[in-house]
Amino acid sequence: MRCLLRHSRKEILLIGLSGGLFLAGLLFRGELRDTPYFSGEILVLGGAYLLAGWNVLLAAARGVFRGSVFDENFLMTVATLGAFAIHEYPEAVGVMLFFKVGEYFQGLSVSRSRRSIQSLLELQTDIAHLSVDGELQDVPPSEVGVGAHIVVRPGERVPLDGEVVSGESRVDTSALTGEPVPRMARPGDEIFAGLINKTETLTVRVTKLLSESSVAKILHLVENAAGNKSKTENFITRFSRVYTPIVVAAALLVAVIPPLVIEGAAFSDWVYRALVVLVISCPCALVVSIPLGYFGGVGGASRRGILVKGSNFLDVLASVKTVVFDKTGTLTRGVFKVSEVVPCNGLSGEDLLRLAAVAESHSNHPIAQSIREAWPQSVNSGAVESYEEIAGEGIRARVEGREILAGSDRLMHEENIAHDVCRVENAGTMVHLAADHTYAGYIVIADELKDDVPAALRRLKALGVERLVMLTGDNAFSAENVARKAGVDDFRAELLPGEKVEALEGIMKETDGMVAYVGDGINDAPVIMRADVGMAMGELGSDAAIDTADVVLMTDAPSKVAEAIEVGRRTRKIVWQNIAFALGVKGVFILGGAAGIASMWGAVFADVGVGLLAVFNAARVLK
């Protein structure tokens, strides 16, 4: 910040000194011209010119030596030195001075936009209250190790990821999620760096080092988002490389050809017109405002709890025609509860649930956890003699000397276990059990649709998204029930992770436009990576979500999908507004300059004015 202030003061000082000399040159132009060889005029106005334009001249010289000749600095240098050559000193100084003023205000706007995003992401605090033998020591968060206890007082920002050990308090998650409603943090709850403790003192056991914390990953993500340029930005870079030489050649023709073919045409008059064309043609409005527009889009999205990994993904979001959703944890809450236990072949419901709980005791899957929680007694995991997970289908375990299979309908078919006699279609996930290759029954696991799903999907349709699809590994009956309630156009059920990728690729071939996939960022990593734009939603601070997805939604609300698409479309709209406006105004003034209607003063006002208006328009995307 201090460096920025010093730079700003230096720029203002140079503009002030240049402006003072320029004003003196205009007021005393007659007297200065009466000096030998116009030395007084050259000294005063030349000094003003160098003060205002030394950095432009230096940049143009560097460009020539590096082989990158045709840029805005080169155009400004040629135009103003040409004005000096035809003794239009005030015009040359005026062009450079107003260009300097315009660049200053453009830089100020860009700096404010950057500071706006940086203040949004200033989630890290400099101090952590480390508890050592009952006493608190203020240390940098980078020095706190995993397992240490820290104290977070009301009003303070949480410095590190951890687990609440004692205390209950409301925490403000808006800096990370964009959601204004605080949530409760209780003992046993995870808490993340960057959140603000609102009401009571909390003691937190640190679970991650500062460099591995969710906030550090988010900061790194946003800071590096500018590295992934959109196609529009790349187009403008290529366009400028072609556009500038054409403009220089056109200006040269304007300066040379008319005096040769038009009788009585003054060479100096047409050189002046050519210089006007050069000044107007500077592409700085495009060069500055377009990257700023995309930068603002990334920053505006992050304010809403939507982290976009690069401006290129904003362009993809703007072109999305199909959105494909995972079911569990994305459209549904992912909070499973056993709703029904149906035994078969003489086994009691109690024995069925106990066998399932013991067999699933080594699994981390949410469904396995819900079965263990449904068993009212403690689970004896020592009774499990062997355990094997069958990817996407279930588990095989040896419990009390019996081989237990627990999993999907597909698993039963693959093991040739007859089970259709006892089976009844149910609106829930069904976990089938077999003991020693004899069907034992099934357990129904219920999951609920998230509250905002129907409204979120209607909003996507209103935005012009043509197709909504759901992919799930669940059974067809349960998937159909969720699909009907949610309002998706199509669904595919009983899919393994690899089959989800194949299903997505089929959808992408059928779709005329971009395809977005929305999942939880953990189990759906291959599908998220395959989509045109992968969006991870759900668990705050999920490492897998941040690492895998192109867009990270920091809440589990499906409405954020529509919001992300809206941000992408708004960003692209503003960027193309700037392109059309800048090229349109410049085209009119170039014709006016060639015709002798526009003066050098008009040219500089057109160039600087267009640049400033484009920058201010681009800054709107932040809001």
Nearest C-alpha neighbor of 311 from the set 328, 324, 294, 325: 294
Written as six digits, the tokens of 102 are: 């315009």
CA distance 541 to 166: 21
Tell me 34's DSSP state. Answer: T
490 vs 471: CA distance, rounded Å: 9
| Residues carrying CATH 3.40.50.1000, the chain | 311-332+449-554
Whether residue 398 contacts residue 383, with contact meaning beta carbons closer than 8 Å, is answered with no
Listed in order, the ranges of the chain carrying CATH 3.40.1110.10 are 337-446
Question: Which token pair is 534?
Answer: 């992968």
Class of domain 337-446: alpha beta
Residues of the chain with pLDDT under 70: 1-8, 68-72, 102, 106-124, 174-181, 217-237, 240, 283-285, 287-288, 421, 423-428, 521-523, 538-546, 601, 604, 607, 622-623
* Cβ atoms of 106 and 34 closer than 8 Å: no
pLDDT of 177-225, one tens digit each?
655 567 888 999 888 888 889 889 999 999 989 888 777 766 666 556 5
Closest by CA position to 54, among listed 109, 15, 4, 26: 15
Give the other-Cβ count within 10 Å of 585's Cβ: 18
Contact 169, 202 (CB under 8 A): yes
CA torsion through residues 103, 109, 112, 116, sign: negative
Question: CA-to-CA distance for 33 and 564, rounded, in angstroms?
Answer: 62
CA 147 – CA 413 distance, rounded (Å): 47
Q: What pLDDT does residue 588 have? A: 85
- Residue 414, amino acid: E
Nearest to 174 by CA among 145, 196, 157, 149: 196
- Model pTM score: 0.68
- How much is the pLDDT for 377? 85
Rounded Cα gap, residues 23 and 295, in angstroms: 38
pLDDT of residue 271: 85
Are the CB atoms for 622 and 113 separated by under 8 Å? yes
pLDDT at 123: 61
Q: Determine which one of 326, 550, 556, 607 is catalytic.
A: 326
What's CA 222's distance to the chain center, in Å?
A: 7
Quick one: CATH architecture of 311-332+449-554?
3-Layer(aba) Sandwich (3.40)
The whole-angstrom separation of Cα 492 and Cα 550 is 24
DSSP state, residue 87: T
d(CA 426, CA 449): 16
Residues 212-247, buried b or exposed e (16+ Cβ, 10 A)?
A: ebbbbbbbebbeebeebbbebbeebeeebeebbeeb
**CA–CA gap between residue 18 and residue 28 (Å, rounded):** 15
Q: Residue 326 catalytic?
A: yes
Distance CA 73, CA 99 (A): 10
CA distance 583 to 243: 11
CA angle in degrees (0–180, nearest 5) for 197-199-205: 45
